[in-house]
Amino acid sequence: MAEAARSNVRGTPGAGDVAAADERLRWTSVPRWRAPELPAAASYLACWFGPAGQRRAAALLSAAPPEVPVRTASFAGHWDPAAEAELRRLLAGCLAGVRIILAGPESVVLRAAALARQFGATSEELVLIATEAAGAAEAAEDAGAYVDGRAGRRVFCAACREPFGAVAAMGDVVTCPGCAASLIVDHRFSRRHAAYFGWPTALDLHR
């Protein structure tokens, strides 16, 4: 994402932190990804972001019954005001019985899902596919896989309370472009803000 490129990322946890981090992840709100399944529906709305998202959505929709209406929308693999406006239009037209498929980079899919919830969609009505977790999700245990390593993430600054984009791993230190605070990308995630919490380094209790 363009906004991610402007963020300053530095510092990665050492190998000795891996086991402790994995244990913490069992009990946090970090997004988990499982192999997607196509639910029964009166209709489908499939929105994908980027070519990889299109391939994943198309593969899932191949199992849709031919008599069930399917609406599709293609977007670039990043978030922008035009995409948000079009998503709002599509979501406003959804009727009861629709199932909404969102496929693409995790940061974009989670932001689109937060928007869908603003329009009244429930978790049961959403099928979310993060392309970064494609292989891991199929191989994961029941708890699901999470996006590990450096990836595009939305971070919510606990200092100025503004979200921003960054390319970072959980546990990395990033700089908020709004208030210049140094933040640790936490394992806790806010569905409302579609962002990982970023805590000022002086306040972090996990390192």
Amino acid at residue number 88: R
Average pLDDT of the residues of the chain: 85
Mind listing the pLDDT tens digit for each residue in 127-165?
999 998 866 555 545 567 888 889 999 999 999 999 999
> Among candidates 191, 187, 160, which has minimal Cα distance to 176?
160
CB contact at 8 A, 43 and 68: yes
Helix (H, G, I), strand (E, B) or coil at 17: helix
Cα-flanking dihedrals φ and ψ of residue 71, to 5°? -105, 140
**In this structure, is the dihedral angle defined by the CA atoms of residues 52, 57, 58 and 63, taken in order, positive or negative?**
positive
Mind listing the pLDDT tens digit for each residue in 87-118?
999 999 999 999 999 999 999 999 999 999 99
> Among candidates 62, 32, 49, 61, which has minimal Cα distance to 123?
32
Query: Which residues is 47 bridged to in the sheet?
Result: 73, 102
The pLDDT value recorded for residue 2 is 35
In the chain the domains, ranked by start, together with CATH numbers, are 2-30+147-203 (no CATH), 43-139 (3.40.50)
% of residues, the chain, pLDDT over 70: 80
Answer yes or no: is pLDDT of 70 > 80.
yes
The pLDDT value recorded for residue 202 is 84
Mean pLDDT (whole number) for 46-53: 97
From start to end of the chain, where are the E strands?
Answer: 8-10, 43-49, 70-75, 98-104, 126-130, 151-157, 163-168, 173-175, 182-190, 195-200
